[in-house]
Amino acid sequence: MLIVYCGLPGVGKSAASGYTAEQTDAERYRTDQVRKQLFPDPSYTPEETDATYDTLLERAQSPLESGSNVVLDATFQSRPYREQAATMAEELGVDYEFVYVDCDLDVVKGRIEERTDTISDAQFEQHLQLRETFDPIERDHVVIDNSGTLEETYRQIDEHVL
């Protein structure tokens, strides 16, 4: 099974995807980590982003081929990146699901300002910019509202994803 977590920076994709990976004994791959491995001082150009998503999907392929569950954690703001993930799953003959993580704007702002996670470089300004350009998800997907407590988020994941 491939579970694709997408959403804007700061909404809690990593917390949600981490929980899902633990519960499903899945390999988890995050664009934040992949990007830093490929580009230690990233400039977030379109070319870097393409390379990051290509590498993310390459890393997911082998575990999926061997029958492991995989969780992907990325903004997947652009429809073509989501289509690449779906196409890979279809070609490998594995089930897949998209999960969009959402969160109230005030909560996102507070979480980003309090962040101690050094993997993600995203600031609140990037959240606002990407909010304007995020391609609508035009396929079946689950929406998780991560505005409340982690326990509330985990309950939603248990009910709608797992």
C-alpha–C-alpha distance, residues 70 and 3, integer Å:
6
38 has which bridge partners?
none
CA distances from residue 86 to 139, 142, 150, 155 in whole angstroms, order as listed:
10, 15, 28, 26
8 Å CB contact between 73 and 14: yes
CATH superfamily of 2-160: P-loop containing nucleotide triphosphate hydrolases (3.40.50.300)
8 Å CB contact between 59 and 29: yes
8 Å CB contact between 73 and 5: yes
pLDDT digits (tens, 9 = 90+) for 26-80: 999 999 999 999 998 888 899 999 999 999 999 999 999 999 999 999 999 999 9
Domain ranges of the chain: 2-160
- The pTM (predicted TM-score) of the whole model is 0.90
Residues 6+ positions from 113 with CB-CB distance below 8 Å: 124
Please give the pLDDT value at position 116.
Answer: 63
